[in-house]
Amino acid sequence: MTRILVINPNCSQACSAGIDAAIAPFRFPGGPVFEVATLQEGPPAVYTWRDWHAVVEPLCRLVERETADAFVIACASDPGIDAIRASTQRPVLGVFRSAVAAAVARAERFGVIAIVDASKARHALALRAMGLEHRLAANIALNVTMDTLLDPAAARARLIAAGREAVQAGAQTVILGCTGMANHRHAIEQAIGVPVIEPCQAAAALALTL
Protein backbone atom coordinates (compact mmCIF):
# COMPACT_ATOMS: atom_id res chain seq x y z
CA MET A 1 0.00 0.00 0.00
CA THR A 2 1.34 3.41 -0.97
CA ARG A 3 2.12 5.55 2.09
CA ILE A 4 2.24 9.35 1.97
CA LEU A 5 3.62 10.87 5.15
CA VAL A 6 2.46 14.42 5.88
CA ILE A 7 4.75 16.07 8.45
CA ASN A 8 3.70 19.00 10.62
CA PRO A 9 6.97 20.81 11.48
CA ASN A 10 5.52 22.41 14.59
CA CYS A 11 4.73 20.57 17.81
CA SER A 12 1.05 21.51 17.96
CA GLN A 13 -1.11 18.39 18.09
CA ALA A 14 -4.16 20.59 17.48
CA CYS A 15 -2.57 21.86 14.27
CA SER A 16 -1.81 18.28 13.22
CA ALA A 17 -5.43 17.36 13.86
CA GLY A 18 -6.52 20.21 11.58
CA ILE A 19 -4.14 19.00 8.87
CA ASP A 20 -5.50 15.48 9.23
CA ALA A 21 -9.07 16.73 8.85
CA ALA A 22 -8.14 18.84 5.82
CA ILE A 23 -6.70 15.87 3.91
CA ALA A 24 -9.41 13.41 4.98
CA PRO A 25 -11.31 13.78 1.66
CA PHE A 26 -8.24 12.43 -0.16
CA ARG A 27 -8.44 9.07 1.63
CA PHE A 28 -10.43 6.49 -0.28
CA PRO A 29 -10.62 2.68 -0.47
CA GLY A 30 -7.70 1.31 -2.44
CA GLY A 31 -5.95 4.68 -2.51
CA PRO A 32 -2.72 5.76 -0.83
CA VAL A 33 -2.55 5.85 2.95
CA PHE A 34 -2.16 9.44 4.17
CA GLU A 35 -0.59 9.65 7.63
CA VAL A 36 0.12 12.82 9.61
CA ALA A 37 3.21 13.05 11.84
CA THR A 38 4.04 15.84 14.30
CA LEU A 39 7.63 17.00 14.70
CA GLN A 40 8.03 16.81 18.46
CA GLU A 41 11.21 18.93 18.34
CA GLY A 42 9.39 21.71 16.50
CA PRO A 43 8.28 25.10 17.88
CA PRO A 44 4.59 25.86 18.62
CA ALA A 45 4.48 27.45 15.14
CA VAL A 46 6.99 28.56 12.52
CA TYR A 47 6.88 32.30 13.10
CA THR A 48 10.47 33.40 12.45
CA TRP A 49 13.46 32.54 10.29
CA ARG A 50 15.03 31.06 13.42
CA ASP A 51 12.06 28.70 13.76
CA TRP A 52 12.33 27.88 10.05
CA HIS A 53 16.00 26.96 10.29
CA ALA A 54 15.58 25.10 13.60
CA VAL A 55 13.23 22.50 12.12
CA VAL A 56 15.31 21.65 9.05
CA GLU A 57 17.70 19.11 10.60
CA PRO A 58 14.96 17.34 12.66
CA LEU A 59 12.84 17.12 9.50
CA CYS A 60 15.76 15.59 7.58
CA ARG A 61 16.33 13.02 10.32
CA LEU A 62 12.62 12.13 10.44
CA VAL A 63 12.47 11.63 6.67
CA GLU A 64 15.63 9.50 6.75
CA ARG A 65 14.19 7.10 9.31
CA GLU A 66 10.66 6.85 7.91
CA THR A 67 9.54 4.57 5.10
CA ALA A 68 7.14 6.35 2.77
CA ASP A 69 6.50 6.68 -0.95
CA ALA A 70 6.26 10.46 -0.70
CA PHE A 71 6.64 13.13 1.96
CA VAL A 72 4.68 16.34 2.41
CA ILE A 73 6.12 19.15 4.55
CA ALA A 74 2.98 20.70 6.04
CA CYS A 75 4.06 24.25 6.79
CA ALA A 76 3.30 27.12 4.43
CA SER A 77 6.87 28.37 4.77
CA ASP A 78 8.14 25.12 3.16
CA PRO A 79 11.03 24.89 5.68
CA GLY A 80 14.18 23.16 4.50
CA ILE A 81 12.59 21.75 1.36
CA ASP A 82 15.88 21.53 -0.55
CA ALA A 83 17.76 19.91 2.35
CA ILE A 84 14.96 17.40 2.89
CA ARG A 85 14.87 16.50 -0.79
CA ALA A 86 18.60 15.80 -0.56
CA SER A 87 17.92 13.39 2.34
CA THR A 88 15.72 10.97 0.40
CA GLN A 89 15.17 9.60 -3.08
CA ARG A 90 11.40 9.81 -2.56
CA PRO A 91 9.36 12.84 -3.69
CA VAL A 92 9.14 15.69 -1.16
CA LEU A 93 6.38 18.26 -1.58
CA GLY A 94 6.10 21.60 0.16
CA VAL A 95 2.52 22.65 0.82
CA PHE A 96 3.11 26.30 -0.12
CA ARG A 97 4.66 25.45 -3.47
CA SER A 98 1.79 23.02 -4.07
CA ALA A 99 -0.77 25.72 -3.26
CA VAL A 100 0.91 28.20 -5.58
CA ALA A 101 0.90 25.61 -8.37
CA ALA A 102 -2.84 25.12 -7.81
CA ALA A 103 -3.43 28.87 -7.71
CA VAL A 104 -1.69 29.65 -11.01
CA ALA A 105 -3.49 26.73 -12.64
CA ARG A 106 -6.78 28.46 -11.83
CA ALA A 107 -6.08 32.17 -12.14
CA GLU A 108 -3.66 34.77 -13.41
CA ARG A 109 -3.06 36.42 -10.01
CA PHE A 110 -3.36 35.14 -6.47
CA GLY A 111 -3.22 36.45 -2.92
CA VAL A 112 -1.79 34.96 0.25
CA ILE A 113 -2.96 35.31 3.84
CA ALA A 114 0.06 34.99 6.16
CA ILE A 115 0.02 34.23 9.87
CA VAL A 116 2.62 36.96 10.65
CA ASP A 117 4.56 39.60 8.72
CA ALA A 118 7.74 37.56 9.03
CA SER A 119 6.14 34.82 6.92
CA LYS A 120 6.06 37.08 3.88
CA ALA A 121 9.80 36.83 3.27
CA ARG A 122 9.63 33.04 3.32
CA HIS A 123 6.73 33.07 0.89
CA ALA A 124 8.73 35.43 -1.33
CA LEU A 125 11.67 33.00 -1.27
CA ALA A 126 9.46 30.19 -2.55
CA LEU A 127 7.85 32.39 -5.20
CA ARG A 128 11.27 33.50 -6.50
CA ALA A 129 12.36 29.86 -6.68
CA MET A 130 9.26 29.11 -8.76
CA GLY A 131 9.64 32.24 -10.91
CA LEU A 132 6.14 33.36 -9.97
CA GLU A 133 6.63 36.38 -7.74
CA HIS A 134 5.04 38.60 -10.42
CA ARG A 135 1.75 36.67 -10.11
CA LEU A 136 1.29 37.68 -6.44
CA ALA A 137 -1.40 40.34 -6.04
CA ALA A 138 -1.17 40.72 -2.25
CA ASN A 139 0.32 39.04 0.81
CA ILE A 140 -1.59 40.09 3.92
CA ALA A 141 -0.49 39.17 7.45
CA LEU A 142 -2.86 38.67 10.37
CA ASN A 143 -0.16 38.81 13.06
CA VAL A 144 -1.90 36.29 15.31
CA THR A 145 -0.81 33.16 17.16
CA MET A 146 -1.37 29.58 16.07
CA ASP A 147 -3.78 29.14 18.99
CA THR A 148 -5.90 32.01 17.66
CA LEU A 149 -6.01 30.48 14.18
CA LEU A 150 -7.06 27.11 15.53
CA ASP A 151 -10.01 28.61 17.38
CA PRO A 152 -13.13 28.08 15.22
CA ALA A 153 -14.25 31.69 15.69
CA ALA A 154 -11.42 33.88 17.03
CA ALA A 155 -9.69 34.71 13.73
CA ARG A 156 -12.42 34.07 11.17
CA ALA A 157 -13.55 37.68 10.75
CA ARG A 158 -9.93 38.80 10.28
CA LEU A 159 -9.29 36.01 7.78
CA ILE A 160 -12.34 37.03 5.76
CA ALA A 161 -11.27 40.68 5.87
CA ALA A 162 -7.78 39.73 4.68
CA GLY A 163 -9.26 37.65 1.87
CA ARG A 164 -11.43 40.55 0.75
CA GLU A 165 -8.41 42.87 0.82
CA ALA A 166 -6.49 40.44 -1.39
CA VAL A 167 -9.39 40.32 -3.86
CA GLN A 168 -9.56 44.12 -3.93
CA ALA A 169 -5.83 44.11 -4.77
CA GLY A 170 -6.51 41.94 -7.81
CA ALA A 171 -6.32 38.37 -6.48
CA GLN A 172 -8.51 35.93 -8.39
CA THR A 173 -7.80 33.15 -5.93
CA VAL A 174 -6.46 33.20 -2.35
CA ILE A 175 -4.00 30.87 -0.65
CA LEU A 176 -4.23 30.23 3.09
CA GLY A 177 -0.65 30.88 4.14
CA CYS A 178 -0.64 28.76 7.30
CA THR A 179 -1.82 25.21 7.96
CA GLY A 180 -3.57 26.47 11.10
CA MET A 181 -6.12 28.18 8.82
CA ALA A 182 -7.44 24.92 7.36
CA ASN A 183 -10.77 24.80 9.17
CA HIS A 184 -11.66 28.30 7.91
CA ARG A 185 -11.30 27.60 4.17
CA HIS A 186 -14.97 27.07 3.30
CA ALA A 187 -16.19 30.06 5.31
CA ILE A 188 -13.62 32.39 3.71
CA GLU A 189 -14.43 31.17 0.20
CA GLN A 190 -18.15 31.67 0.77
CA ALA A 191 -17.52 35.20 2.04
CA ILE A 192 -15.06 36.49 -0.57
CA GLY A 193 -16.42 34.88 -3.73
CA VAL A 194 -13.18 33.51 -5.20
CA PRO A 195 -11.53 30.08 -4.83
CA VAL A 196 -9.60 29.64 -1.58
CA ILE A 197 -6.77 27.13 -1.61
CA GLU A 198 -5.78 25.19 1.51
CA PRO A 199 -2.10 24.19 1.11
CA CYS A 200 -2.28 20.70 2.63
CA GLN A 201 -5.18 19.83 0.36
CA ALA A 202 -3.23 21.14 -2.63
CA ALA A 203 -0.23 19.00 -1.68
CA ALA A 204 -2.41 15.93 -1.06
CA ALA A 205 -3.96 16.32 -4.50
CA LEU A 206 -0.52 16.66 -6.06
CA ALA A 207 0.77 13.66 -4.11
CA LEU A 208 -1.99 11.51 -5.60
CA THR A 209 -0.57 12.22 -9.07
CA LEU A 210 2.83 10.85 -8.04
Cα–Cα distance for residue pair 7/42, rounded to 1 Å: 11
**Does one domain contain both 125 and 187?**
yes
Read off the pLDDT of residues 79-133 as tens digits, 9 standing for 90 and up: 999 999 999 999 999 999 999 999 999 999 999 999 999 999 999 999 999 999 9
Read off the pLDDT of residues 174-202 as tens digits, 9 standing for 90 and up: 999 999 999 999 999 999 999 999 999 99
pLDDT at residue 84, as a whole number: 97
**Does one domain contain both 20 and 39?**
yes
pLDDT beyond 90 at 1:
no
Q: How many residues does the chain have?
A: 210
pLDDT beyond 90 at 151:
no
Provide the residue range defining the domain that includes 112. 96-198
pLDDT at residue 152, as a whole number: 81
Instruction: With beta carbons less than 8 A apart as the criterion, state whether 173 and 106 touch.
Output: yes
**Does one domain contain both 90 and 8?**
yes
Cα–Cα distance for residue pair 175/67, rounded to 1 Å: 30
Cα–Cα distance for residue pair 178/118, rounded to 1 Å: 12
Read off the pLDDT of residues 16-52 as tens digits, 9 standing for 90 and up: 999 999 999 999 999 999 999 999 999 999 999 999 9
pTM above 0.85, yes or no: yes
CATH code of 107's domain = 3.40.50.12500
**Does one domain contain both 143 and 185?**
yes
Q: Name the H helices within the chain.
A: 13-23, 49-54, 56-65, 81-85, 95-106, 119-130, 146-150, 156-168, 185-192, 199-208
**Number of Cβ within a 10 Å radius of residue 46:** 28
Number of domains the chain contains: 2
pLDDT at residue 153, as a whole number: 86
For residue 189, what is the DSSP state? H
**Does one domain contain both 127 and 173?**
yes
Question: What is each CA distance from 53 to 49, 50, 127, 149, 191, in whole angstroms?
Answer: 6, 5, 18, 23, 35
Cα–Cα distance for residue pair 181/5, rounded to 1 Å: 20
pLDDT at residue 170, as a whole number: 98
